[in-house]
Structure 1
Amino acid sequence: MNEILIAHPGATSAVTCLGLTFPSDAARREHFRKLLSEKLKDPGFRRQEGFPKGTDEAILAMSDPPYYTACPNPWLAEFVQHHGKPFNPSQPYAREPMAIDVSVGKTDPIYKAHSYHTKVPHLAIVPSILHFTEPGDIVLDGFAGSGMTGVAAQWCGTAPAIYRQRLEMEWKKAGQPAPQWGPRKVVLNDLSPAATFIAANYNLPFDVEAFAKAGKKLLAEVEREIGWMYETLHTDRKTKGRIEYTVWSEIFSCPECAGEVNFLEEALEEDSKRTRDTFPCPHCSAELNKDRLERVFETRTDPATGKPWKRVKFRPALVAYSVGKSRYEKQPDAADLATIDRINALPLPASVPTAAFPVAEMYHGSRLAPKGFTHVHHLFLPRAAQAMGMLWEKANTYPDLRIRASLIFMVEQALWTASILNRFRPTGFSQVNQYLTGVYYVASQHAECSPWYILNGKLGRLSKTFEAFRCRVGNAAVSSGTAAALPMPDSCVDYVFTDPPFGENIYYADLNLLVEAWHGVTTDAKPEAIIDRFKNKALPEYQHLMQRCFAEYHRVLKPGRWMTVVFSNSKASVWNAIQVALQQAGFVVAEVTALDKVQGSYRQVTSTTAVKQDLVISAYKPDRALEQRLTERGAAPESAWDFVAAHLRQLPVAKTKDSVLEFVVERDPRRIYDRMVAWFVRHDLPVPLSTEEFLDGLRRRYPDRDGMAFLPEQVTEYDRRRAQAAQAPQVELFVSDERSAIDWLTDLLRKRPSTYQEIHPDFTVQLGAGWRKHEEKPELSLLLDNNFLRYEGRDDVPSQIHSYLSHSFREMRGLEKSDPRLKAKAKDRWYVPDPGKAKDLEQKREKALLKEFEAYRAAAGRRLREFRLEVLRTGFKAAWSAKDYKTIIGVAQKIPEEALQEDEKLLLWYDQALTRAEVGG
């Protein structure tokens, strides 16, 4: 049974919730709040990992159970059981990976309704949800942030007709069936209560008309009570104006004369509104610039403690105000300064938080503490503190809880702008939201905005936006806790969309402190998946935290279903950590695409150079039958081919962009081999096939088209698409190590068997840019000897060379393989051997690599500055098969950590070896 639509949550009509019927929504809320209150008194409930820090009262004040709790939601399991469909292995389900454009929809009113540090627009997520799910399916986002995945899930049922028609036309043009419109159920989770509060207010319905009236009343009441703080006299000295913002300038001292320098007054050009690079000292005329100025501190009285407080000195320098519809600017006059002094004497409002920043544990603590900002209330000038304190207090006393939450949702958006973090931008259209995102940064020029300047327009936009976006009650459940421990049953989710924190891009827990302090509920940062040296979290810790979260996704996702991961990080080491974490958790990556923001198109990722783009990872959870067959057979070749068949079935048959057929990277034989290896390693099994055994078997078992492997039933479709395409797909090869150099040579020699002299110039160019730092550059002759064959001119010309010469040289056409002229032309050309001889070469090469690996292993007590990654990969693989985890760990400790972290294959062996050694030890 679905919950009914509540147009007016404060109404008295009967409602149903999780199968229970209540006389009104207020009764529903009271019932579940009482249950949550009882749970909060249970020490065991509070001991859950990732449980936010806050009193019972503060957590209850934020929550609207069972749909939203500012702690781990104890009703998530009941929600998915009530609304979801049990996993049915007999029900057919088949989807291909799908790329999304994460830049789409960033100007949409819903996207802009509330800011957050990072967010993927809901319009970028909607097509993905439509593709992978059906109406009523359960969608999960464990790193939900501001809840855009939930908005997207509900938008599938509320999208306007014009949007539906446009999307349907795009899908039809691409040969895809029409989407099934209708809302999806969504479970949203985030570690941060600040994030989940935003997500809940985006995804839980409220009476928009009542909110608009309450918002206007709130702003009017605040103006009546403290409007005098924002009054100023017009230059006619008679007319009263209303201050929009006051610009405060940091005060410096001149290094030559020690005179005070008001930075804004001296550096800002009146006409152009631009800051000059150099300017004269107003006292001694010495030429100054920002670097030469010396910071000045002043001692004030801390309004919270009454004790002396030392901070950088600011002085009001400019007042922007309005009289009627006209805007003006002036320097603060005596009356303005007197008003500021009067405000300074007022006590700090009780609603303003006075919590200390954990500066020693914050990455950006060094930006705050040296300037004297060590507590939350320090970030608000006295007038801003009075205004925000009153707004917060009045919003929190509104009688209807749902409207109350909506008012707070609006008011909290003013916190960053109202703080001293808001920079003055003289050339900006507005002074709202001018703080630097992702960092605590106190600029030398601060725009102190009035609450009406910040919120009047916001109130109108919110009302209009949510009037158009009508979500239904019961479509979303929101929880605050770690994604590594979701209170949900196994195999209950139909699709996962997630945009997790990547490395050290954004310090979410630190940044959310400012807003969470006002709520009185703060993030437990211990389980935060992040790289942060101030919290003693390096890349290995980040990888293991992400692995735990991905493992939880794997547990709750139904077998055979998909997960989409949006990745934004420029470091190859972080990218590899994510890939290994995914594989260790049990997912199989089926596609990685990179968004080219300039061209507006996607390209499939073939190397770590692509991590400079936004990446979209498509991964699936293998079905239970495949897992069961592996358990029964173990590390047998049949298990490998069983995996390959299942994996090929999940891959896209063809990808076309502007009539150009793209190379499907995941269908490359070597990439398939890598996926198979990861599959066996994850199951703690030796890899049953060598590289050449696998490649030979793949050629014999599966059709090849343009260097890609297909299931027999997929070939017809690919051939049809190939015939329609303007040109054949081209694989991008980036040479960065020995393995990729071999792949480049293989591609070259397969097309054009060549002599050493012909190969060498191009090969030298390939080794130029992008070579891995610690990777030893191989000799071309060594690579050719170990991996390819050279025709010496004695026997008949090999078929590979004969075919190339016959097609490329007119005088060679029609000649037999034994013809002396052909043999002379073919002599000393290197070529790719046929599968039988390639296997022999592989064995010879592996023997040489293992011999060199033994030298690495025996090199006691020294670090390896340069090495061959192929030697390490081969040695790690052999040691894994022998369950010699000690050797893997020992050799890994001899190479630089960055080299280990930047190679996905080494990292996989090493990480698993550490795990097995701990289990065995």
Structure 2
Amino acid sequence: MNDIAEFIKKYGKPYDPETDHYDVGPFKKNIDDAQKSTGGIYGMHMYWVKQVPQVVKQHIEHYTRPGDIVLDAFAGTGMTGVAAMLAGRHAILGEISPACIHIAKNYTTPIDPHLLKGSWWKLREKVEPEIRPLCKTRCHNCGNTDAEIANIILSDVLRCPRCNAEVLYAGDGRWEQMKRGEKFKKIRCPNCKAEFTKAQADFVRVEPIEIRVDCKACKVKGEAKAKSLDEEDWELYISIEGGPTKVIHEGEDEWSEYKFEPVERFLDDLGTKVYQKMLQHWSVDYIPPKEVPYWYPKDVKFPKGYNTRQPLKRGITYSYQMFSHRNLIALSILWHYIKGIEDEKLRDKMRFAFTGMLFYVSLMRRWVYSNVAGVPLKGTLFIASVIQDVNTLEIFDFKINQVLRGLRELLTFKGNGSVFLQKLSATNLNFENNTIDYAFYDPPYGANINYSELNIVWEAWLNEFTMVKDEIIENKYQGKNRNIYGQMMLAALREVYRVLKPGRWLTMIYSYSDPSMYRIIQNIAHEAGFADEGGLLHINSASKTFAQETSDKSQQRFLVINFKKPKGGRKKVVEKSEDIEYDVIQVTHEFLKKYPGRTRDQIYDEVIKRLFSSVQIEKFDLDEILKNFFRKVGNEWFAPGTLIERRKGDQKQGALWEEPIPEHPEKEVILRLQDFLREYRIVPYSELREFYLRKLKIAIDRDFDDLVSENFIIDKGKVRLPTVEEQLRMQDITVHYTKRILAQFLDGRLNRAPTGPEICEWIHFCYKHELYREGLQLFGVLDESSIPSDAYKRAKKIAEVCRIKKK
């Protein structure tokens, strides 16, 4: 079926307002265990961020009935289509990215896994004789000459900023240090002894420092697989990758004019010895990389962009340069024989497995101490300084098995629901009004992920590229600021509003660390005609963006916004907040009183969830608010006056003869001091300090005096727990907030002018809370003409009392 109208005619139910009795409320379940339901389907193909189909299925089943049509015009990898199949619904998927269309098509057209397995056996017989010689090595453990390279560890060579000498990043004992899990910030030049950071040095090239061996004879395992390169290894490496080079950049354009100039030697002495011998044997001045035997995307240059800047320092400006030459040859061999598969469905699934493993065999495959797999950083083109250059054939075999596992799960649902997939812009849906039963959207999150820049690595092999003019994104290299992003999103929401049946729902997933972006989403959704109902929810997904994985200021969960197309066609208006900072403080305070010990990202999510449907969200500084009004213990935050409670997992158990190791030292100290004061009621301050120093022996990163004053009551040199009344008084956030506003006003930092009646209220507040000096200062700026005479007289009387009390 090639036409959306035909698809809707076949599977849809025409909307009739007279007979339509649809009345479904909002989905109201937060999902914190999405990673538990990923299954084999989710792992079939990587992407920068995708929702778990079993989670999407829950939303679809809530909002629709079997046989209904679900729309996702930001289809990505097609998880909404998969979820619809699982739920027995039909789906229309639209995408502008050829890479996404390729992935989504293969996800939503399952085939018999036995046929794919048989096709892979036949394909392997063809490619193995050409790829295996690229990975041959001798086992250092048993001497087997038919062993294979599992991976080669590559290290950056950097140029010392002081003496220009070449320095191996993992040299001078640093590699052994890294394998012990130790970290270092500075690199010492062995030539001039200067120390420098990686950012201060220029990149020269990569060099191999170690090989991990797969030997079927002795089956060597673990760290015993590691060996240094011998002469045969070096000869194979040079014959494939070519001789040593250095990156040269000429001209002023940072996006071009890179070349790789030959140099005389490697940093490794054995490598240089082998290289010199090969030069003499072949009577040449330089050994170039081995010729790639088949087609590869050699002419696809990276566009200018945020992510494509990341490999520039290495001289990488073309997509094929993201792979070692060894793996580029292996990829060209695989792709050549995959294209020769006659059966279109089998060929598509092989291409699917190929693109699914591409980034895992690229130079982005990091060596990571805590992760044997060393997967690439999602949402980036980042190349680490220590790389695992893996065996392409073995990774492809692993990926085929992942696809087979997913197909076995998908095949059981084949026929439950049909999926229509088309290259389609969300801003121009080419079908009729009031035809869709439900929409699930996971759109681009502003500037968070630059999809077309990242997808080009896939699209280069597919030889079809995203039309970036249609990409809804905030990206200065595309000339799209936040205002343009908002306009394009508005066009997309107007379209989905148009095609949804009245009374139906749009679920939108969103994540952004700047709260003002949610103001844009509020505006455009309401402008399109939607009403958000039921409050915001969250999904703690298995898939994280790069920002989520690396920054505690990023949203760690995806927020779920429920938008409804009202049957009456009315537009919702959200009132402007009188004081967004105070609103944020109130929400945070209520949240921490109910759930003490929450992290910054959890607090941010709660604030957005609570405020989104009630007020216009303006920009606010959550870090400043937390610092001024709440208590931080380790990485957790507490409302003032809240006693800390121990939660499961707060301690790590050491050896049997050792004390348990605190997961959060500061929190553990407070808990034990609380226990001490519960037992002894009230103790001299010196005794409490002595207890901490002699009994606890837990190092904390802050001043002990500050810790005590924040968490306990100090009265005439003695310390005790706060009473219930004192806790309530300490928890009165309005008092803390008003004190801060007063301080800002009296220091000339308040960004508004208070009214006369407001100043009168502040004067009374100062008297009540014994802020006599501040009360006098406030009366000094009070304009008598701005308030009624009786109010002025009361303020003057209070000010006189403040003057007396101050003395």
* Residue 130 (structure 2) aligns with: 225
* Residue 119 (structure 2) aligns with: 214
Distance 1:249 1:764, change over 3 A: same
In structure 1, C-alpha distance between the alignment counterparts of 2:477 and 2:138, rounded to whole Å: 49
* Residue 617 (structure 1) aligns with: 561
Distance 1:671 1:130, change over 3 A: closer
Are 2:540 and 2:556, in contact at CA under 8 Å, matched by a contact in 1? no
Are 2:518 and 2:612, in contact at CA under 8 Å, matched by a contact in 1? no
* Residue 180 (structure 2) aligns with: 272
Residues 1:288 and 2:195 are matched in the alignment: yes
Q: CA deviation at 1:483?
A: 0.7
**Pick from 16, 22, 47: which aligns with 1:93?**
22
* Residue 578 (structure 1) aligns with: 521
Q: CA deviation at 1:611?
A: 7.4
* Paired residue type of 1:317: I
Q: Deviation string for 1:871-913 (max 9, x for gaps)? A: xxxxxxxxxxxxxxxxxxxxxxxxxxxxxxxxxxxxxxxxxxx
Q: Deviation string for 1:527-580 (max 9, x for gaps)? A: 211111111111110000000111110111111111111110111221111111
**Pick from 437, 446, 468: which aligns with 1:494?**
437
Residues 1:472 and 2:377 are matched in the alignment: no
* Paired residue type of 1:318: E
Are 2:153 and 2:208, in contact at CA under 8 Å, matched by a contact in 1? yes
Percent of aligned positions that are identical: 27
- Partner of 1:226, secondary structure, is helix
- Partner of 2:422, secondary structure, is strand
Are 1:142 and 1:189, in contact at CA under 8 Å, matched by a contact in 2? yes
Q: CA deviation at 1:296?
A: 4.5
Residues 1:339 and 2:339 are matched in the alignment: no
Residues 1:317 and 2:209 are matched in the alignment: yes
- 1:422-821 counterparts in 2 under 5 A? 422-431=365-374, 434-470=375-411, 471-473=413-415, 475-595=418-538, 614-623=558-567, 626-627=568-569, 761=735, 764-765=738-739, 767=741, 776-777=751-752, 779=754, 782=757
Are 1:193 and 1:521, in contact at CA under 8 Å, matched by a contact in 2? yes
In structure 2, C-alpha distance between the alignment counterparts of 1:785 and 1:190, rounded to whole Å: 60
How large is the RMSD of aligned CA atoms in angstroms? 3.8
**Pick from 34, 41, 46: which aligns with 1:105?**
34
* Residue 156 (structure 2) aligns with: 250
Q: Deviation string for 1:725-762 (max 9, x for gaps)? A: xxxxxxxxxxxxxxxxxxxxxxxxxxxxxxxxx99845
Are 2:44 and 2:356, in contact at CA under 8 Å, matched by a contact in 1? no
In structure 2, C-alpha distance between the alignment counterparts of 1:281 and 1:672, rounded to whole Å: 59
Are 1:253 and 1:293, in contact at CA under 8 Å, matched by a contact in 2? no
Q: CA deviation at 1:121?
A: 0.9
**Pick from 191, 200, 205: which aligns with 2:96?**
191
* Residue 144 (structure 1) aligns with: 75
Are 1:105 and 1:122, in contact at CA under 8 Å, matched by a contact in 2? no
Please give the TM-score of this superposition, normalised by the length of structure 2.
0.62
Distance 1:400 1:577, change over 3 A: same
- 1:4-153 counterparts in 2 under 5 A? 18=1, 66=2, 75-89=3-17, 90-101=19-30, 103-106=32-35, 107-153=38-84
- Partner of 2:226, secondary structure, is strand
- Partner of 1:365, secondary structure, is coil
Q: CA deviation at 1:595?
A: 3.0
In structure 1, C-alpha distance between the alignment counterparts of 2:742 and 2:98, rounded to whole Å: 49
In structure 1, C-alpha distance between the alignment counterparts of 2:560 and 2:72, rounded to whole Å: 15
Are 2:153 and 2:211, in contact at CA under 8 Å, matched by a contact in 1? yes
User: Unaligned regions of 5+ residues in structure 2, if any?
Assistant: 242-288, 542-552, 574-590, 595-605, 618-731, 762-792, 796-807
* Residue 918 (structure 1) aligns with: none
In structure 2, C-alpha distance between the alignment counterparts of 1:198 and 1:523, rounded to whole Å: 14
- Partner of 1:315, secondary structure, is strand
- Partner of 2:65, secondary structure, is coil
Are 1:495 and 1:563, in contact at CA under 8 Å, matched by a contact in 2? yes
In structure 2, C-alpha distance between the alignment counterparts of 1:492 and 1:501, rounded to whole Å: 25
In structure 2, C-alpha distance between the alignment counterparts of 1:246 and 1:430, rounded to whole Å: 13
In structure 1, C-alpha distance between the alignment counterparts of 2:752 and 2:68, rounded to whole Å: 52
Distance 1:358 1:760, change over 3 A: closer
- Partner of 2:103, secondary structure, is helix
Q: CA deviation at 1:253?
A: 2.9
Are 2:4 and 2:431, in contact at CA under 8 Å, matched by a contact in 1? yes
- 1:171-186 counterparts in 2 under 5 A? 183-186=88-91
Please give the TM-score of this superposition, normalised by the length of structure 1.
0.55
In structure 2, C-alpha distance between the alignment counterparts of 1:597 and 1:85, rounded to whole Å: 34
* Residue 702 (structure 2) aligns with: none
Q: CA deviation at 1:436?
A: 1.6
Distance 1:239 1:506, change over 3 A: same
User: Unaligned regions of 5+ residues in structure 1, if any?
Assistant: 1-17, 19-65, 67-74, 157-182, 298-312, 599-608, 641-656, 676-757, 787-826, 830-921
In structure 1, C-alpha distance between the alignment counterparts of 2:185 and 2:554, rounded to whole Å: 37
Are 1:100 and 1:616, in contact at CA under 8 Å, matched by a contact in 2? no
* Residue 361 (structure 2) aligns with: 418
Q: Deviation string for 1:124-178 (max 9, x for gaps)? A: 211111110000000011111111111111112xxxxxxxxxxxxxxxxxxxxxx
Q: CA deviation at 1:784?
A: 9.0
In structure 2, C-alpha distance between the alignment counterparts of 1:759 and 1:79, rounded to whole Å: 57
* Residue 241 (structure 1) aligns with: 147
* Residue 297 (structure 2) aligns with: 353
Distance 1:670 1:435, change over 3 A: closer
Q: Deviation string for 1:42-69 (max 9, x for gaps)? A: xxxxxxxxxxxxxxxxxxxxxxxx4xxx
In structure 2, C-alpha distance between the alignment counterparts of 1:590 and 1:666, rounded to whole Å: 14
Are 2:293 and 2:332, in contact at CA under 8 Å, matched by a contact in 1? yes
Distance 1:668 1:364, change over 3 A: closer
In structure 2, C-alpha distance between the alignment counterparts of 1:318 and 1:132, rounded to whole Å: 55
Distance 1:217 1:105, change over 3 A: farther
Distance 1:269 1:86, change over 3 A: same
In structure 1, C-alpha distance between the alignment counterparts of 2:46 and 2:794, rounded to whole Å: 65
Distance 1:665 1:281, change over 3 A: closer
* Paired residue type of 1:245: N
Are 1:245 and 1:450, in contact at CA under 8 Å, matched by a contact in 2? yes
Distance 1:775 1:478, change over 3 A: farther
* Residue 396 (structure 1) aligns with: 339
In structure 2, C-alpha distance between the alignment counterparts of 1:535 and 1:666, rounded to whole Å: 29
Runs of 4+ in 1 over 6 A off after TM superposition: 609-612, 664-675, 768-771
Q: CA deviation at 1:669?
A: 14
In structure 2, C-alpha distance between the alignment counterparts of 1:568 and 1:330, rounded to whole Å: 45
Are 2:508 and 2:560, in contact at CA under 8 Å, matched by a contact in 1? yes
Q: Which has the higher contact order (CA 8 A, sep 6+)?
A: 2
Distance 1:768 1:314, change over 3 A: farther
Distance 1:213 1:558, change over 3 A: same
Distance 1:510 1:103, change over 3 A: farther
* Paired residue type of 1:197: H
In structure 2, C-alpha distance between the alignment counterparts of 1:509 and 1:616, rounded to whole Å: 25
In structure 2, C-alpha distance between the alignment counterparts of 1:762 and 1:287, rounded to whole Å: 51
In structure 1, C-alpha distance between the alignment counterparts of 2:534 and 2:759, rounded to whole Å: 31
Q: Deviation string for 1:329-365 (max 9, x for gaps)? A: 11222212222233344323443112343443x1123
Are 2:324 and 2:363, in contact at CA under 8 Å, matched by a contact in 1? yes
Are 2:48 and 2:378, in contact at CA under 8 Å, matched by a contact in 1? yes
